[in-house]
Structure 1
Amino acid sequence: MLTLADQILERFPGSGIVDRANLALSANYDSVGRALGQLVKERKLVRVGRGQYKKASGRAPVSAGSIAELIERKVARSRRNVFLRGDFVGLGSYDAVGRALRQMIQSGRLVQIGYGLYAKAERSPFSGKATPLVGIKRLATEALARLGKTVVSSSFDTAYNSGRSTQVPTGRTLAVRDRVRRRIGYDGNYVVLERA
């Protein structure tokens, strides 16, 4: 007779994700949870989300610490200043990548500039806080480009460059041709997005 763990493993396809609710087993909820936890510990399954599992690949899962090291290496080698969470998908499960990104933010090597947006950072010698390596306008422009949005000159830039205004633009206003619902910035400093 098959054990509960073996019955669970039989219900997993080669590479698909299985929701815990879809496991048709005669065992009670707690027993299934314990068996799933044991299979994750034995590295036969990988938890990819809340109540979602998949079969572990041939290589052993990577710990959050080493995922942080992989992310750090990838960030250091890249010429980009802005990274999407999707850039790190292949390095581990959703939760493990999230933990590794939080570790990097706490250590000051990354700063979160928006939902799913991260920027290279370093500790400021004056305040000790993590600050991005480039200015907020360049960060926002790069972030919007990574999201597939088109950035054009703002009304303030256009008025100043054409001589209609003597007010020097701050650079915190960006005109975007598409609709954007994200806030981009850090430490209370956000860019203002206007519709072009």
Structure 2
Amino acid sequence: MMATLAQQILDRFAEGGTLARADLVLDADYDSIGRALGELVKDRKIVRVSRGRYRKAEKGQAAPANTISEAIEKKVRRSKRNVFLRKDFVGLGSYDAIGRALKQKTEDGKLVQIGYGLYAKAQVSPFTGKPAPMVGIKRLATEALERLGKEVSVSSFEDAYNSGRSTQVPTGRMIAVKDRIRRRIGYDGNYVIFQRAG
């Protein structure tokens, strides 16, 4: 008797190893494999570890999303950091479960998403009644860039002001960075402007 598609996929997993969707060469179309993978994740037989990569679930490993959400909140509360990367929470659950839990924390107002895979500690603003980061946008962006391994320096506007060459007070939203930055960092329509450091 021919094994089901889901069973054929399960048989491809080595104990403890990960497998990419692209590596699954089976006698089935792309959509059918996608549906079978989705069912296996739903049944907690496999865990999605990143986009298109899966591993076999260990017994008793899959934690409910609300438990992961609580673990994220605890980690954020105890940390002295203002900025968190998605990878800070690896190990608390599967890729999808962490994504759902982070979404829940932003909806609860405990975190604010400030960029792709970037989150900041938040509290309700007394002015707007909406969740806002606990520190200013420039400090957030500087911390985020440093966590991403980018070298930050003073912008030309700040340098001119500090040295007395200009009387124009810098807005504080411009940061000089040695590397090229493609991502936007900010929240609620306010974004930091990046200047290429010389």
TM over 0.5: yes
2:81 is the counterpart of 1:75:
no
2:97 match? 96
Residues in 1 aligned to 2:161 and 2:115: alpha-carbon distance in whole angstroms: 29
Residues in 2 aligned to 1:45 and 1:94: alpha-carbon distance in whole angstroms: 12
2:152 is the counterpart of 1:151:
yes
Structure 2: 5+ residue runs without aligned partners?
none
The equivalences for 1:21-170 within 5 A come to 22-23=23-24, 39-48=40-49, 52-170=53-171
Q: 2:90 is paired with a residue of what secondary structure?
A: helix
Deviation at 1:168, TM superposition (A): 1.3
Going from structure 1 to structure 2, the CA distance change for 1:183 and 1:32 (only over 3 Å counts) comes to closer
1:182 match? 183
Deviation at 1:127, TM superposition (A): 1.4
Q: Deviations over 1:87-120 (max 9, x none)?
A: 1121111111111111111111100111111100
Q: 1:97 is paired with a residue of what secondary structure?
A: helix
Q: Deviations over 1:104-151 (max 9, x none)?
A: 111111001111111000111231211000001110110110011111
Q: 2:91 is paired with a residue of what secondary structure?
A: helix
Q: Percent identity?
A: 68
Residues in 2 aligned to 1:148 and 1:132: alpha-carbon distance in whole angstroms: 22
Residues in 2 aligned to 1:13 and 1:79: alpha-carbon distance in whole angstroms: 39
Q: What is the aligned residue count?
A: 196
Q: Which moved more, 1:46-55 or 1:166-175?
A: 46-55
Residues in 1 aligned to 2:128 and 2:162: alpha-carbon distance in whole angstroms: 35
Residues in 1 aligned to 2:183 and 2:34: alpha-carbon distance in whole angstroms: 37
Q: 1:160 is paired with a residue of what secondary structure?
A: helix
The alignment's TM-score, normalised by the length of structure 1, stands at 0.86
Deviation at 1:10, TM superposition (A): 2.8
Structure 1: 5+ residue runs without aligned partners?
none
1:192 match? 193
The alignment's TM-score, normalised by the length of structure 2, stands at 0.85
Residues in 2 aligned to 1:7 and 1:27: alpha-carbon distance in whole angstroms: 11
